[in-house]
Amino acid sequence: MVLDLNLLREEMDLRRPAPGIGTPRQEDDEVEILSGVKDGMATGGALTMFVRNRDRDSDKYKQFRDKPRPGHADQTAVAKYGECHDIRGGGQFSGRMTAALVAGGSVAKQLLAEHGIVVAAYTESIGKVVDARRHGIQDMLSIARSNDLRAASEDVIEAMREEILGAREEGDSIGGVVHCLIDGVPVGLGEPFFDTVEGELAKMMFAIPAVKGIEFGAGFRAAAMRGSEHNDPFVVVQGRLRTAKNDAGGVLGGISNGMPIEFRIAIKPTASIAKEQRTVDLKKMEETSLAIEGRHDPCIAPRAVAVVEAAAALVMADLSIRGGIID
Amino acid sequence: MVLDLNLLREEMDLRRPAPGIGTPRQEDDEVEILSGVKDGMATGGALTMFVRNRDRDSDKYKQFRDKPRPGHADQTAVAKYGECHDIRGGGQFSGRMTAALVAGGSVAKQLLAEHGIVVAAYTESIGKVVDARRHGIQDMLSIARSNDLRAASEDVIEAMREEILGAREEGDSIGGVVHCLIDGVPVGLGEPFFDTVEGELAKMMFAIPAVKGIEFGAGFRAAAMRGSEHNDPFVVVQGRLRTAKNDAGGVLGGISNGMPIEFRIAIKPTASIAKEQRTVDLKKMEETSLAIEGRHDPCIAPRAVAVVEAAAALVMADLSIRGGIID
Amino acid sequence: MVLDLNLLREEMDLRRPAPGIGTPRQEDDEVEILSGVKDGMATGGALTMFVRNRDRDSDKYKQFRDKPRPGHADQTAVAKYGECHDIRGGGQFSGRMTAALVAGGSVAKQLLAEHGIVVAAYTESIGKVVDARRHGIQDMLSIARSNDLRAASEDVIEAMREEILGAREEGDSIGGVVHCLIDGVPVGLGEPFFDTVEGELAKMMFAIPAVKGIEFGAGFRAAAMRGSEHNDPFVVVQGRLRTAKNDAGGVLGGISNGMPIEFRIAIKPTASIAKEQRTVDLKKMEETSLAIEGRHDPCIAPRAVAVVEAAAALVMADLSIRGGIID
Amino acid sequence: MVLDLNLLREEMDLRRPAPGIGTPRQEDDEVEILSGVKDGMATGGALTMFVRNRDRDSDKYKQFRDKPRPGHADQTAVAKYGECHDIRGGGQFSGRMTAALVAGGSVAKQLLAEHGIVVAAYTESIGKVVDARRHGIQDMLSIARSNDLRAASEDVIEAMREEILGAREEGDSIGGVVHCLIDGVPVGLGEPFFDTVEGELAKMMFAIPAVKGIEFGAGFRAAAMRGSEHNDPFVVVQGRLRTAKNDAGGVLGGISNGMPIEFRIAIKPTASIAKEQRTVDLKKMEETSLAIEGRHDPCIAPRAVAVVEAAAALVMADLSIRGGIID
């Protein structure tokens, strides 16, 4: 397989912080390929991609060992890994780890594209600004890739930006929702027990820091619906079997049903905020307060769009290989 | 380990349909133990439990091969498995398969109990009837185990029942939300990549038919929150480190943080309804309509409570073994 | 897929003890199919096969808890599983567990046969009686399936039988070698790291009780060979690429090379013997002696032929599915 | 855990070719640590070690695409991976890949050492020169680490060296046997089905290029033994339960029995030889001949000792973690 390094570069750039709304911390996110590619072709051997950290500012993390940051894994990690846990930059809990997902996901995307499977996502909401429109994949591939909010509707861009800037001005952060669509999925991927399409995607998504929920199709709305309202009627469109809507999100019985796979991801607000928070001094076992200085994104959602796409592509490539669609 | 078969029997009974609101189809759900137990003790060998189907009415399923039921995996399964797919009772896509989860989950629960880990759940909502109160695990272990709605607040029971009966009267069905709490979890279970506590639980939950979403702690609400509002402040309670609330749902960085693990599950309305629905006659490739006769639960949520508990227990037992807490 | 239950019955019978040289313990080894088959077809759902123990004589095993049998896992199992270890019949360490491998292997064989892959084996040696001839798969499919020694050369049958009877007369047992050939394997199955064809087969073979060694192609003989002697020269046979001999045993770099896969399995002598042996009384921590009464095969090798075939078929089916050859 | 980089360096050096008997190709085998270590401590995050190729001579490999080398995976790999297979240096089939095993194995060894588990190996035979003595682990840790043949008996060193030089003089190569011992293993590691101690070790060993066989304890010799001869009698030594000999190789029923684990590995002669060999010109589909120039080890066995130790250490660390011995 030809590996297009320009596409890889584009995906990496889509994950980088945007001027104005993102962290001023600048990493070039250069991907060095250590093995598995020769003359632009994947050789079939292990593909090793390496992204170096360059813009480090490690000193200010030391204090979090004794005064753990609320919403972070500082204390949890020390409990698990002991004193040798590397707390600099959050260590393996850093959002920076998602650069690797995006690099790997770009390869998966290229592999899927050869089989007509396309993964795309966009920012559905930032705080209270919600893009209520339903988008096809074209909006995600064009509009959402050309604005730094990763919004699929142009008229929500400025409101989303203000929501982020408003949070930052107050030394605070804000959450959001990422909406993902996978088009061109053949019927029959996944298993009823236990490797469902939903389960495999969900497991991967929760490896992305800050993800706190996932729903497919109508998701939590389905809980308040009647069956007659929620069930997708079967219809014939141009001689092919389809469903009239897609409240099932493309999955029935854990197996892809041939409709686009559609899911929404809840992204919590960035845990690192400048505002003073309550925490505990672990040495004295006394409550104290903490204000986190540093260069943090006030909202992760726009950057998470590239990560969700990449993670979904990795899962779909795996399911496609297991299902005999690829290779 | 001593295996208490009375506890197993109790769990199986909690999954059975309740008179009035459930399907009249009656299975005794007797668990035969084929291997792995001697003199009431698990031997360490493979534990095989077998639940026979007795109350079968297979003939009426034949038509669904040509006229797939909306919201069901009939057509998806035939596409995947071919003509040999066993469509009787929905085959391996039947909700009946969850009897096995409950049987296995009861063993996991008993194992966890020896280490102070307790799993409990309740029906948080049925259709538009929502129990907005926050419940501790005691409500789930007492109230929610003693009413057939599996409700944790006594004053919502009747409204929930009416919501179900109302749907059934119209030949329809209704969805719900199951809320689950896992108490006594030590800090440090799970991995940041890829075997997160959330990811492992989520993957398992999506193997339960009708589950369409999962969220931990504040979940999707977190998407509209500020960091200062969502972050759990650390506090000292009786000399021990805790968090003031539990918006993280007991997991930080994919790892249990010592607080209860808390999540919500969206259950879609039962796909099988008496009301006429649109579908396609696959032989003629023509749209047609379908009314499903038979004995179906108008709402799965109350029965799903036992299944969610069992599935969560299986995951927690596995994570505890991997984490060196058990054995 | 059609599941031929007669073939299953034949395979099960090939594992049963032969009159005269085998244990007089008689199990009918009836396979009950609990799920996954309808109208003679595998449905795609979980296939559950169940073989009951009928001819039990459990009492005489009790003493082995305190006086562990040399060569058996009695003491090892109690150390691992504790007092709840079920020692009757050797529990999960019983050779009886291989009945399940043969049942599963028969399904794998039928699946492989649809793709032209054939697995067969024979008894290469019993004690000092060695069949030094090289056999093609036809000898294994005809001769070796029609004599109770599972020998591929008719003129070694009686010598092998005498070797077994000689051991039994002295209250002793004897080991043997099983030789296995897998024909029709396409080039390209397996991975160089870590899922090699040899590694996957080896891992499975060591799950068969009494297996103590495995070698592929020239195996240990290769250790004394020169490269010029061991390397398989490439040749053209009827327009197709082959190797002149098959000292590599059908695998190069962990990957099938299109030649038959060929390996040999060392089977240790039955651990249960009537002859007096030294052991330890674990209660007194004192050395003592033990003579095992009961109904034991003086040589497992002939019965192991069916088990090795079945185990190899299970691995090859798995590798074929992963390699996209099947399904 | 403290990671001793000097020990890592020592292990890497033990894998390097020895002057005189090894290839003149010189790699410094420097291990760069890309992640997972801080201030000499493993952090608990992913440990990434990287060994660069420096001394490359890639041009001469091109011809093997059309004229595959007997005994190598050239043709097999092209059949599997297609034209993009990287044939330089043998690609992922190169013995050079074992440098990574040794690096990882050194970490595993250090982890095991903290729990009293020691892995060591030596060259038991080269061609027809066999060291028939039985060695304790001290011989392997002292003598076998201080001579370039990795022999455990000083009086076989020169004969082994001559065996290698004799093969090289004729443009040929020679095989050997590596013998491995694992001391300090607690009783109870491994499972009867399917993750046996033997199976896990065997699977890993076959990932080492040139390995063609493995046997535990008496191994293939057991096939010609009587049960009374092969069974290990239990004895009491200094108040502890032991076996009198160790023909079982430390494993009963797939589970470690507390005795040292002992196995032998067959190493085939190096496939690359200067002597002319028969092969096929794949473009013309015609038989032809090939003489391989270049810098090849005439015998891999002495270098394989470090690799077998490392691979065994990786497996034992994994089994120890799963068995709750470590962590």
Q: Name the residue ranges covered by the structural domains of chain B.
A: 117-322
pLDDT digits (tens, 9 = 90+) for A212-247: 999 999 999 999 999 999 999 999 999 999 999 999
Using N-to-C axis directions, what is the helix angle for D197-205 and C197-205, rounded to 10°? 170
Helix (H) or strand (E) holding C226, with range, is none
Structure confidence at residue A8 (pLDDT): 97
- Residue range A125-135: mean pLDDT, rounded: 97
Mean pLDDT highest for which of B37-46, B290-299, D63-72, D158-167? D158-167
Measured between alpha carbons, how far is D140 from D121 in angstroms, rounded to an integer?
6
Percent of chain C with pLDDT over 70: 99
Q: How confident is the model at residue B225 (pLDDT cuts 50, 70, 90)?
A: very high
Task: Tell me whether residues A43 and D81 touch, CB distance under 8 A.
Answer: yes
Check if C327 contacts A (Cβ < 8 Å). yes
Other Cβ atoms less than 10 A from the Cβ of B194: the count is 15
Q: Which of residues 280-319 of D touch C (CB under 8 A)?
A: 280, 282, 285-287, 301
φ and ψ at residue A22, rounded to 5 degrees: -100, 180
Facing D44 at nearest CB: one of A43, A45, A84: A84
Structure confidence at residue A59 (pLDDT): 78
Structure confidence at residue B294 (pLDDT): 75
φ and ψ at residue A274, rounded to 5 degrees: -75, -30
Q: How confident is the model at residue C92 (pLDDT cuts 50, 70, 90)?
A: confident
Chain D nearest CA to A126, separation (Å): 32
Facing A86 at nearest CB: one of D1, D43, D84: D43
Mean pLDDT for chain D?
95
- Residue range A18-22: mean pLDDT, rounded: 88
Structure confidence at residue D322 (pLDDT): 93
- The verdict on domain C117-322 having CATH code 3.60.150.10 is yes
Residue B56 has pLDDT above 80, yes or no: no
Q: Are strands B176-183 and B211-216 parallel, antiparallel or unpaired?
A: unpaired
Check if C324 contacts A (Cβ < 8 Å). yes
Residue B198 has pLDDT above 90, yes or no: yes
pLDDT digits (tens, 9 = 90+) for C39-79: 999 999 999 999 998 866 677 888 898 999 999 999 999 99
- Residue range B147-162: mean pLDDT, rounded: 98
Q: Which residues contact C170 (CB under 8 A, 6 or more apart)?
A: C275, D226
Lowest pLDDT segment from A61-65, A209-213, D193-197, D291-295: D291-295
Q: Return the half-sphere exposure (C-beta side, CA atoms, 13 A cut-off) of residue B231.
A: 29
How far is C-alpha D171 from the geometric centre of its chain's CA atoms?
24
Measured between alpha carbons, how far is C61 from C77 in angstroms, rounded to an integer?
14
Check if A44 contacts C (Cβ < 8 Å). no
pLDDT digits (tens, 9 = 90+) for D47-67: 999 999 886 667 788 889 899
Residue C20 has pLDDT above 90, yes or no: no
Check if B40 contacts C (Cβ < 8 Å). no
- How many contacts, defined by CB atoms under 8 Å, are there between A and C? 5
Using N-to-C axis directions, what is the helix angle for C5-15 and C98-113, rounded to 10°? 140
Residue C270 has pLDDT above 80, yes or no: yes
Using N-to-C axis directions, what is the helix angle for B301-322 and B98-113, rounded to 10°? 50
Facing D324 at nearest CB: one of B46, B193, B327: B327
Q: Considering only CB atoms, which chain B residues are within 8 Å of A172?
A: 226-228
Measured between alpha carbons, how far is B47 from D6 in angstroms, rounded to an integer?
47
Residue of C nearest to A191 (CA): C45
φ and ψ at residue A42, rounded to 5 degrees: -70, 130
Measured between alpha carbons, how far is A200 from A301 in angstroms, rounded to an integer?
22
Check if B194 contacts D (Cβ < 8 Å). no
Q: How confident is the model at residue D233 (pLDDT cuts 50, 70, 90)?
A: very high
Structure confidence at residue C55 (pLDDT): 67
Chain D nearest CA to B323, separation (Å): 8
Mean pLDDT highest for which of A39-43, C16-20, C89-93, C124-128? C124-128
Q: How confident is the model at residue B186 (pLDDT cuts 50, 70, 90)?
A: very high
- How many contacts, defined by CB atoms under 8 Å, are there between B and C? 51
- Residue range A304-319: mean pLDDT, rounded: 98
Chain C nearest CA to B255, separation (Å): 29
Percent of chain D with pLDDT over 90: 86
Whether this model's pTM surpasses 0.95: yes
- Residue range A148-168: mean pLDDT, rounded: 97
Helix (H) or strand (E) holding B74, with range, is helix B74-81
Q: How confident is the model at residue C26 (pLDDT cuts 50, 70, 90)?
A: confident
The residue ranking higher by pLDDT, D23 or D228, is D228
Task: Tell me whether residues D84 and A34 touch, CB distance under 8 A.
Answer: no
Residue of D nearest to C77 (CA): D188
Cα–Cα nearest to A101, from A261, A306, A321: A306
Q: Which of residues 51-80 of D touch C (CB under 8 A)?
A: 68, 70-73, 75-77, 79-80
Which pair of tokens denotes residue B233?
A: 């402040």
Helix extents (H) in chain D = 5-15, 74-81, 98-113, 137-141, 157-169, 197-205, 227-230, 301-322
Chain A nearest CA to D321, separation (Å): 15
Check if A92 contacts B (Cβ < 8 Å). yes
Measured between alpha carbons, how far is B235 from B233 in angstroms, rounded to an integer?
6
Q: Which residues contact C33 (CB under 8 A, 6 or more apart)?
A: C47, C48, C49, C50
Residue B55 has pLDDT above 70, yes or no: no
Mean pLDDT for chain C?
95
Which pair of tokens denotes residue D234?
A: 């239990």
Q: What is the CA radius of gyration of chain C?
A: 21
pLDDT digits (tens, 9 = 90+) for D153-206: 999 999 999 999 999 999 999 999 999 999 999 999 999 999 999 999 999 999
Which pair of tokens denotes residue B257?
A: 């943080």
Cβ atoms B36, B43 nearer than 8 A: yes
Lowest pLDDT segment from A14-28, A107-121, B7-21: A14-28
Cα–Cα nearest to C231, from D303, D69, D296: D69
Q: How confident is the model at residue A55 (pLDDT cuts 50, 70, 90)?
A: low
Cα–Cα nearest to C211, from C312, C296, C293: C312
Residue type, D149: L
């929500």: which residue's tokens?
A156
Measured between alpha carbons, how far is B128 from A116 in angstroms, rounded to an integer?
40
What ipTM describes this predicted complex?
A: 0.97
Q: Are strands B234-237 and C118-126 parallel, antiparallel or unpaired?
A: unpaired
Measured between alpha carbons, how far is D160 from C198 in angstroms, rounded to an integer?
28
Chain B nearest CA to D191, separation (Å): 10
Residue B253 has pLDDT above 80, yes or no: yes
